[in-house]
Amino acid sequence: MVRTRISILILRWDEVPKAEVDELWLNIKKHWNIEDDRHKKQVLKICNQAWKAYKRRLVTEYLKKGKNPYLDEPTWNAFVQLKTSPSFQEISNKATETTKLNKYPPRIGPRGYGVMKPEWEKEMESGDSTELHNIRSERARNFILARLKHDPTGIYSLPTDL
């Protein structure tokens, strides 16, 4: 629903006109039979994430590969122009460099800790990770597990400087 109602030519979610966001919310409420606005903030947050992911996918799967998606020609051309502009490239390059500075990037992705915990428990049972069993704080253990690195043999190992 967010793809059809919010333009991909808007740079950031906070620049989307309030009227469009309100109309999107009303359509979602009607479609899903939501009676009140208790979940509005969370639903719109999910819409924001889905909208950004859609635009990222347009860049990686279409723009960078020189393909034209199913969008109408004027919208696609405007999107290409927006994403290839020098000002956008400067912002993108700066974000890429900042990401590279992250010494311990998490390996949890959009699924989050809750989904990963059972997988980590299996890894701890099957592998030689006795040092992790000695960590009493579940929060600290999860932090470390989310940042384990593959060694050349494909086995996860603790970074030595963590």
pLDDT tens track for 14-38: 999 999 999 999 999 999 999 999 9
∠42-46-51 over CA atoms, to 5°? 145
What's 16-32 look like in SS3? CCHHHHHHHHHHHHHHH
- Based on the domain organization, do 7 and 73 belong to the same domain? yes
Parent domain of 119: 109-157
Same domain, 92 and 143: no
Residue 49 in contact with residue 109, Cβ under 8 Å?
Answer: no
Query: 157 versus 73: which is more confidently predicted?
Result: 73
Same domain, 84 and 26: yes
Q: Provide the pLDDT for residue 116.
A: 80
In the prediction, which pLDDT does 122 show? Answer: 78
> Residue 145 corresponds to which tokens in the numbers above?
């597990």
3-state DSSP call for residue 38?
coil
Shared domain check, 92 and 13:
yes
| 35 domain-assigned | yes
Q: According to the model, what pLDDT value does residue 87 have?
A: 93
List the alpha helices (DSSP H) in 33-111: 40-58, 73-83, 86-100
**Among candidate residues 56, 73, 100, the one where a domain is terminated:** 100
Domain presence at residue 162 = no
The four Cα atoms 25, 26, 28, 33 give a dihedral, to 10 degrees, of 130
Which residues partner with 156 through β-bridges?
Answer: 150
Helix (H) or strand (E) holding 160: none
Angstrom distance (rounded) from CA 162 to CA 148: 10
Residue 90's pLDDT is 95
Same domain for 60 and 41? Answer: yes
> At residue 162, does pLDDT exceed 60?
no
- Work out the pLDDT band at 41, boundaries 50, 70, 90: very high
pLDDT at residue number 128 = 54
Structure confidence at residue 118 (pLDDT): 83
Based on the fold, state whether residues 135 and 69 are members of the same structural domain.
no
Whether 140 and 70 map to the same domain: the answer is no
Global pTM reads: 0.65
Q: Are residues 119 and 39 in the same domain?
A: no
What digits encode the pLDDT tens for the residues 103-149?
A: 766 667 666 777 788 877 777 777 655 567 777 788 887 887 777 76
Lookup result for tokens 């000695």? 134
Q: What's the pLDDT score for residue 140?
A: 83
Counted domains in the chain: 2
Asked, for residue 6, whether it belongs to a domain, the answer is yes
What residues are paired with 157 via a beta bridge? 149
- Are 91 and 135 members of one domain? no
Top pLDDT among 100 and 24 is at 24
Of 82, 100, 118, which closes a domain?
100
On whether both 95 and 128 belong to a single domain, the answer is: no
Q: What is the pLDDT of residue 99?
A: 85
Is the domain of 83 the same as that of 21? yes
Task: Specify whether 118 is located in the same domain as 69.
Answer: no
What length does the chain have?
162
